[in-house]
Amino acid sequence: MTKISYVNFINPLKVKYLGWKYICIILLMILIPDLGLSRDKGRSAFGITMPLYEIYGIDVSRYQEKINWKDIANVKSGKDSVKITFAFVKATEGQSLKDKYFNYNWRETKKHNIIRGAYHYYKPNVNSLLQAANFIRQVKLQSGDLPPVLDIEEVGKLGSDNMKKGVKKWLKKIESHYGVKPIIYTNVSFYKKYLSGKDFEEYHFWIAHYTKNSPNVDFEWIFWQYSDKGVIKNINSKVAFNVHKGTREELLTLCK
């Protein structure tokens, strides 16, 4: 095979046909093959491929059991030393359920300077205002906390119209009580089928989408849950990982 000389390749006769612009592109592709690395290509950390964003976080519930949050605050993973900046913790579900580890998780995340948020799992067959009251009884927001989150993934036996009315009532009650607009958590397919359009366009969304590509939705999501298979030392079960779309400063502007 004839060896190609880069010096011979770039000569005046070929320049007039290709132009310097194209020669530079070709050389960059040869010499720097990873120059075009995209956000979605990712980096390896915590046992998964993580999209290329600045701010990473996790969400947890009783399934992760008792977590050593001091370790979480200090852990770094992968060649890029990825850190966990924020955590959403499950607080309540339905009319009366409280997550077994909520008080512990809520206290310890704050203690170890992890930006924290609390979420409620919505049950569409249960009175929405009673569900809001359950959340309010358990969650006391402080300065620096992320807005409350409503996790909605079910339509319920009463249909989508009833579900949407209930969700709106919950959101309005929570906003009135805490003085901050809640965030809605859901997955891409549920959003497209039930929540898209003008009904909920005033709210920020946290979107679950377990692929390497960022969520394909018709709005600017604020959080993306991209995997539920993360591995963190001393946590026995897999952990869901998320990114915030902006910088740390932009994340802090969301906080109460």
| Catalytic annotation, residues | 59, 153
CB atoms within 10 A of CB 97: 16
**Phi and psi torsions of 82, nearest 5°:** -65, 135
Measured between alpha carbons, how far apart are the two ends of the chain, in Å? 66
Sign of the four-CA dihedral 103, 104, 109, 110: positive
3-class SS at 23? helix
3-class SS at 31? helix
How do the residues of the chain divide into helix, strand and coil, expressed in percent and rounded to 5?
35, 25, 45
For residue 191, count CB atoms less than 10 angstroms from its CB and return exposed for 0-12, middle for 13-18, buried for 19 or more. buried
